[in-house]
Structure 1
């Protein structure tokens, strides 16, 4: 039976960082398990390839939510990366740390060592910022962060209109205060996606003390006398068991919950309903699910270039392909959203609680054809939702997808913010800088006017922006799943290091914070090993 010092479950954004840092000491024998395959699919590396990776069983788990009452009973696709690099191989590549207040709040919850001043050095350590080193940015790290390689008149006009509506401009959303409008920084290098594999794992895979297994899905943890001593995984239809000095779950807000519950760790009623004998009853496992619901408002426009028209002809597609082939720029180098705005839904909000993702294109959902008319999309999401959902297994079969119930718009506060967000987008598009394009609201449509109408509209156009967090939350209270050093409270020998440990969701895109969490986790693991 194989024996390792550290076994990391999940080679996603967090797992790649952990594998790099824990294997840096040649004395440590490290195993990284990934249920998906290698990242040798060409669309993983071309930025616009997210369109072909989301919903693709080669790269995506293919989860769906349960019918959601807040969305009129709709089910949503719930993309999660199932490939080396995890979501960093299929996501929108936006580099966003969150606000300083997010992390200071974690510290106030009793999570010592997780304040903004604590985590900023970790962000800087990982970063290779295109402008170089500064008080707020790092240079020489593994994670390349660059500016977008495409500009659109339509987006420039929207940002100008946002400024006319009273929102300031910014050239950097990663200073601890992301208020304002501007262009996103992206995890790209010279027009290629720069995933966690390229940043952290590829160089580490040359080390003889790191073993990486793909196509390896964990069935359950192996537990003995109050300690996790290893795990059982399935590869090519065969089960294998191994031993570990310490197991680190980095399978994400869905996967880490599933592994815990399949192993008898979680809510007693959930385990019993699925015929699993409880080993450790932990009420918080699978609870506290938070996600950013984006309201995708679409406007038809006139007199300005839109990706809709460029991508609707063979000649337009050929020009797009040629620009990327020659210069690594243009629409094929685009992240899903290039421009953004952070602002407040209401004046009494202490910091921005809304994030816009603005796109010079429109479609019904990712993977669908673009609309046959010039248009743009202004998605806006509530950064700090009050609604809480859950993720739980619904079968004793480790291959079955769990039940994902986000519970969007389930509080009066969230519904109020959603209605105001729609009003706010309308105010921006009415400003002179954008009004010159004669915007016509296509979705949800101008007939939605009253508060009740707007709440209903939010339920009709709302969809996930792919940021599930919180299902194995960190905290000092009895209801938390892990402590501030990310150790499972109920048993020894196990840590969790991924987005599931966030007590509250960060105020922005969640990929960069997930890699930061792994950076801090690795440092704590190595530090504790010396004691």
Structure 2
């Protein structure tokens, strides 16, 4: 195969697939896409209900584990990340949320004026084909399919009704004019199958002669000529090769792998690099720092026998679910299992929604190493805009060794307060009349947990990740940033990062849609295209 390209993209995840598609649309440009994982043609990837199994499959997952989280009883927390074509979009829960417009306006206010919601909305529209059709808020002819979930189970209906009874608004489209409120979930699915970034962007253009996809290949480091990135060193099996990039090397390896690759290549804190005998190319102390994530806890209730979805997933019934999905791509196998949710304020002190619920008509321990489920229903409560910050640092100069990951959940007092308040408001939701006859006892944290101290102790023991790491190579203009407003790495040339790691801060959403939008926007910047004109719409 060729060893020289115009662009070398590292990582075939949510962003990398978008870039491979858009950059190779010019037949005169040669693009190489390198992915450490393998193909995505597994039934557990394609079947929405099998997502918890896919996320735990060692063939598809990087299987990261954090260092002891000192504010969470020193527990090690599992962090699933996709190691497969499509990246984490091939193993995630497929929930499609853009975030609150104020999230992006906050990015703009920090010195990134072209990242306001007005500038991002046209790219959210460009990326999608929404099942509800195109309108001023939604796109109708983009590569990425987004559908509205059925949400017909009695527990979904009770959840939505309970929200209104508790005084919250119902929003018909959380990705439209109004983000806050109770909603039917939207999903990255297409006619009963997962619609990952690989399915949406990569596979439809895989025939292009100017696009090469190299899977099962670990990128070891970026190759520099002085401070200019000129290629990458990558390993396929036992063979190490160098692939040249005449225009740019683009890291789309995610919030853990991208900073690790920068560090392995000599871009990062000089002190950290020297401690691993890595020659310094650019002294950028912010590489790997400012790591953010959405932490979640499972608030669970028992239900009358036979009501929860879990009884349909046990015994011989599960084989019927699988057969129906194989034959017709319908039934429970086509469900994400999370077909309703909400964004709400933890207290009257919040400027706008700071807590998310993903609602499940079953219970599960999502942080466990094995897929599991049981009777009941569950609010998966997530903190949306944490103040706590973690980091990604090297353990070794060996590219095959995972870096050290620390999220520092609950390090910030504000985060603790928001989650305690969110817990209390969740109990108010669960106590509404809509759940009468469907709700029995509170399982977790349990009715004996009442005081702030008791709730906080439970939160520390139960918290895990919603798998939304970001900001470890954040865009910005100061010393606490790694990249500029177009993803170019400070103090280097020919090197760019395009993935969740460059988000200045986390957003009030699951991250797949924001990352695809971000990649669409930066694909135009890389190609030198005039940006789409900003929207003049004013959200509610």
TM-score normalized by structure 2?
Answer: 0.95
The answer to whether 1:223 aligns with 2:224 is yes
Partners of 1:160 and 1:304 lie apart in 2 by: 21
Partner in structure 1 of residue 285 of structure 2: 283
Q: How does 1:3-402 map to 2 (within 5 A)?
A: 3-175=4-176, 177-244=178-245, 245-302=247-304, 305-314=307-316, 316-325=317-326, 327-365=328-366, 368=370, 370=372, 374-402=375-403
Partner in structure 1 of residue 536 of structure 2: none
Partners of 1:145 and 1:399 lie apart in 2 by: 35
With over 3 angstroms needed to count, the CA separation of the structure-2 counterparts of 1:165 and 1:249, relative to structure 1, is same
Partners of 2:207 and 2:40 lie apart in 1 by: 16
Residue 313 of structure 1: how far off its partner (Å): 2.8
Q: Spell out, residue by residue over 1:206-225, the C-alpha distance to the aligned partner (whole angstroms, 9 max, x if none).
A: 11011110011111111112
Partner in structure 2 of residue 432 of structure 1: 433
Partner in structure 1 of residue 499 of structure 2: 498
Q: Are 1:290 and 1:469, in contact at CA under 8 Å, matched by a contact in 2?
A: yes
Q: Are 2:103 and 2:508, in contact at CA under 8 Å, matched by a contact in 1?
A: yes
- Relative to structure 2, which stretch is displaced further, 472-481 or 391-400? 472-481
Partners of 1:480 and 1:68 lie apart in 2 by: 24
With over 3 angstroms needed to count, the CA separation of the structure-2 counterparts of 1:131 and 1:56, relative to structure 1, is same
Q: How does 1:416-495 map to 2 (within 5 A)?
A: 416-495=417-496
With over 3 angstroms needed to count, the CA separation of the structure-2 counterparts of 1:348 and 1:247, relative to structure 1, is same
Partner in structure 1 of residue 534 of structure 2: none
> Which secondary structure state, in structure 1, belongs to the residue aligned with residue 114 of structure 2?
coil
Partners of 1:6 and 1:322 lie apart in 2 by: 43
Q: Are 1:153 and 1:304, in contact at CA under 8 Å, matched by a contact in 2?
A: no
Partners of 2:364 and 2:291 lie apart in 1 by: 28
Across the aligned residues of Structure 1 and Structure 2, the Cα RMSD in angstroms comes to: 1.6
Partners of 1:369 and 1:209 lie apart in 2 by: 40
Residue 175 of structure 1: how far off its partner (Å): 1.9
**Uncovered stretches (5+) of structure 2, i.e. residues with no partner:** 531-540
Residue 364 of structure 1: how far off its partner (Å): 2.5
With over 3 angstroms needed to count, the CA separation of the structure-2 counterparts of 1:432 and 1:464, relative to structure 1, is same
Q: Are 1:429 and 1:439, in contact at CA under 8 Å, matched by a contact in 2?
A: no
Q: How many equivalent pairs are there?
A: 527
Residue 159 of structure 1: how far off its partner (Å): 1.6
Residue 271 of structure 1: how far off its partner (Å): 1.2
> Which secondary structure state, in structure 1, belongs to the residue aligned with residue 310 of structure 2?
helix
> Which secondary structure state, in structure 2, belongs to the residue aligned with residue 288 of structure 1?
strand
Residue 438 of structure 1: how far off its partner (Å): 3.5
Q: Are 1:48 and 1:336, in contact at CA under 8 Å, matched by a contact in 2?
A: yes
Partners of 1:197 and 1:409 lie apart in 2 by: 35
Partners of 1:247 and 1:89 lie apart in 2 by: 24
Q: Are 2:56 and 2:370, in contact at CA under 8 Å, matched by a contact in 1?
A: no
Q: Spell out, residue by residue over 1:153-189, the C-alpha distance to the aligned partner (whole angstroms, 9 max, x if none).
A: 0111122112111111112110254111121111111
With over 3 angstroms needed to count, the CA separation of the structure-2 counterparts of 1:371 and 1:109, relative to structure 1, is closer
Residue 283 of structure 1: how far off its partner (Å): 0.9
Partners of 1:464 and 1:21 lie apart in 2 by: 32
TM-score normalized by structure 1?
Answer: 0.96
Residue 295 of structure 1: how far off its partner (Å): 1.2
- Relative to structure 2, which stretch is displaced further, 30-39 or 332-341? 332-341
Q: Are 1:429 and 1:435, in contact at CA under 8 Å, matched by a contact in 2?
A: no
Q: Spell out, residue by residue over 1:463-497, the C-alpha distance to the aligned partner (whole angstroms, 9 max, x if none).
A: 10000000000012232101111111110110100
Partners of 1:303 and 1:432 lie apart in 2 by: 19
Partners of 2:465 and 2:173 lie apart in 1 by: 25
